[in-house]
């Protein structure tokens, strides 16, 4: 029996030993977060690009999650910090229950609702959920959530000056003792020792250190990243009062994005500053219990966990797509910060121009948006308002929206369904199930259902064939959108390349 076949008998092990080991030998950062390396002789686990000496094949195993490594008794490498990596693209590429569970765990569902709540969202019993996750990922939901809490705790320890007791409860631990024991087990250090290890870039800025509810972070991603495209998309769809793109000559790429985010324990503000190799994020007005959810949602909005090289290599095999991809490598699929908001905003964009849709959205925000603190409070040029809740739109949206009565009735009807829980869109729902739920709602057609599904679930294989811009780009390139099976599972990325190709032809800087 080969080494590879032995390793595949371990629950949660990576499927291809030889491919993983070659990535470790090359210290290939593209695989960071997609699997982890456990080293028997040292008792540590690392990211594939760890700069330490490459261990011998018979001393290593590869697992899909940090929790699986921790479950087997390994501690995190202090040199490469394996928890500070981009997330695995598997959780979006795969539609199975394990992938959907990981998306919900990353959003903090276990901390807020327990394993029973996670199981209910996935329509499984807790016992069956535990069995499947253990078989597929090498760890059950409690262990996976524990790894998530440990990462949140490390961020708070090293990026803030919060007292350790506050860190413990903000990260989701039930007691100080549980917090101390977990940090020692995962990192091999006490919380105080871990704080001493922080490097200069992790130290809180003086203003961040003194401001309650503030934390500054660095979010990694896999290069390349086409930032002009994301800047155009965020600016073109920005809702006045909720979000804005700010030109800033002092910023590394000349701009920043500020946005109010609705989170489980209250709204916060994210200021996002793109860099060539990471994203800087400053979160303010934050209930620290929402740190993990905030980070997860920003990552999903910017599609930071995409395996962009795999997607574009596969699509470039089609000669008709090769030129658009070579012109703009690193294009990402913009995600969603809130599923209900995404549905309402997309409905308001049906069969109207982008400017007309923004006008309606701005009216909703102005009339029904929730001020972050005192009404009228501003931060620079951003009015601090959260996007209106579905309940607020259902109750008062009819007095605010303008246009055909049929469309207004449809928006109000969907808002009522969301507010009453008759539709429960979230990152853990299967993409095909979400699309089917949406299509059943009056006023939602295939175009809306496909955009919402692509952006809420992160499904990489949604082709917006009915989108007018996509159809015109396909005509320009001589593409037949009825024959795109060979693009699977990356048709969402083909969609954004077609979008960008048409916009660039119209003179947009994307």
Catalytic residues: 46, 467
Torsions phi, psi for 418 (to 5 deg): -70, -45
487, 494 Cβ separation under 8 angstroms: yes
Contact 214, 321 (CB under 8 A): no
> 141-159 and 176-187 helices cross at what angle (nearest 10)?
90
**CA 75, CA 69: separation in Å to the nearest integer?**
8
H or E element at residue 370: strand 370-371
Burial of 389 (0-12, 13-18, 19+ CB in 10 A): buried
Of the candidates 419, 422, 492, the residue with the CA atom closest to the CA atom of residue 457: 492
| Chain centre to alpha carbon of residue 84 | 14
Whole-angstrom Cα distance, residue 286 to residue 269? 7
Q: Which residues fall within 8 angstroms of residue 507, CB to CB, at 6 or more apart?
A: none
DSSP for 221-260 reads -PSP--HHHHHHHHHHTPPTTTEEEEE-TTSTTSEEEEEE
Q: With residue 331 as reference, give the H or E element that holds it.
A: none
Whole-number Å distance between alpha carbons of 422 and 493: 31
Helix (H, G, I), strand (E, B) or coil at 117: helix
315, two tokens: 């699509």
Phi, psi angle pair for 169, to nearest 5°: -75, -35
Question: Cβ contacts of residue 212 below 8 Å, gap of 6+?
Answer: none
Query: What burial letters (b/e) apply to 39-52, b meaning 16+ CB within 10 Å?
Result: beeeebbbbbbbee
**Would you say the C-alpha torsion 118, 124, 127, 133 has a positive or negative sign?**
negative
Place of tokens 């910060």: 337
């Amino acid at each position: 029996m080969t080494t590879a076949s032995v390793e595949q008998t371990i629950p949660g092990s990576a499927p291809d030993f030889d491919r993983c080991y070659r990535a470790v030998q090359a210290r290939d950062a593209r695989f960071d977060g997609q699997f982890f390396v456990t080293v028997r002789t040292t008792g540590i686990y690392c990211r594939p690009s760890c700069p330490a000496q490459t261990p011998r094949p018979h001393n290593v195993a590869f697992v899909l999650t940090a929790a699986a490594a921790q479950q087997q008794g390994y501690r995190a490498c202090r040199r490469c910090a394996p928890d500070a990596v981009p997330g695995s693209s598997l959780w979006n590429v795969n539609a199975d229950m394990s992938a959907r569970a990981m998306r919900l765990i990353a959003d903090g569902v276990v901390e807020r609702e327990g394993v029973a709540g996670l199981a209910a969202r996935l329509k499984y019993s807790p016992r069956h959920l535990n069995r499947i996750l253990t078989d597929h990922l090498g760890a059950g939901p409690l262990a996976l959530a524990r790894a998530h809490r440990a990462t949140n705790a490390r961020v708070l320890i090293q990026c803030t000056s919060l007292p350790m007791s506050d860190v413990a409860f903000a990260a989701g631990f039930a007691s100080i003792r549980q917090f101390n024991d977990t940090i020692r087990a995962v990192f091999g250090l006490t919380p105080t020792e871990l704080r001493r290890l922080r490097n200069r870039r992790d130290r809180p800025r003086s203003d961040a250190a003194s401001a309650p509810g503030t934390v500054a972070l660095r979010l990694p991603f896999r290069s390349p990243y086409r930032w002009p495209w994301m800047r155009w998309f965020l600016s073109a769809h920005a809702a006045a009062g909720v979000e804005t793109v700010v030109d800033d000559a002092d910023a590394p790429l000349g701009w920043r994005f500020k946005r109010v985010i609705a989170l489980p324990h209250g709204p916060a503000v994210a200021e996002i500053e793109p860099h060539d190799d990471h994203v800087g994020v400053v979160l303010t007005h934050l209930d620290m219990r929402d740190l993990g959810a905030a980070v997860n949602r920003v990552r999903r909005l910017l599609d930071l966990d995409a395996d962009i090289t795999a997607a574009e290599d596969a699509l470039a095999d089609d000669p008709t797509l090769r030129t658009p991809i070579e012109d703009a490598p690193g294009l990402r699929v913009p995600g969603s910060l809130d599923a209900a908001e995404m549905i309402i905003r997309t409905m308001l964009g049906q069969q109207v121009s982008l400017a007309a849709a923004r006008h309606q959205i701005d009216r909703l925000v102005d009339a029904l948006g929730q001020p972050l603190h005192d009404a009228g409070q501003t931060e620079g040029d951003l009015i601090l308002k959260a996007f209106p809740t579905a309940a607020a739109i259902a109750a008062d949206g009819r007095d605010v929206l303008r246009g055909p009565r049929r469309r207004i009735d449809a928006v109000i009807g969907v808002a009522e369904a969301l507010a009453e829980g008759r539709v429960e869109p979230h990152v853990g729902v299967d993409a095909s199930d979400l699309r089917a739920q949406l299509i059943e709602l009056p006023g939602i057609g295939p175009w809306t259902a496909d955009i919402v599904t692509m952006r809420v679930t992160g499904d990489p294989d949604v082709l917006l064939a009915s989108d007018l811009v996509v159809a015109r780009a396909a005509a320009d390139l001589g593409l037949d959108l009825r024959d795109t099976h060979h693009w699977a599972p990356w048709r969402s990325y083909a969609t954004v390349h077609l979008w960008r190709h048409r916009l660039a032809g119209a003179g947009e800087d994307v």
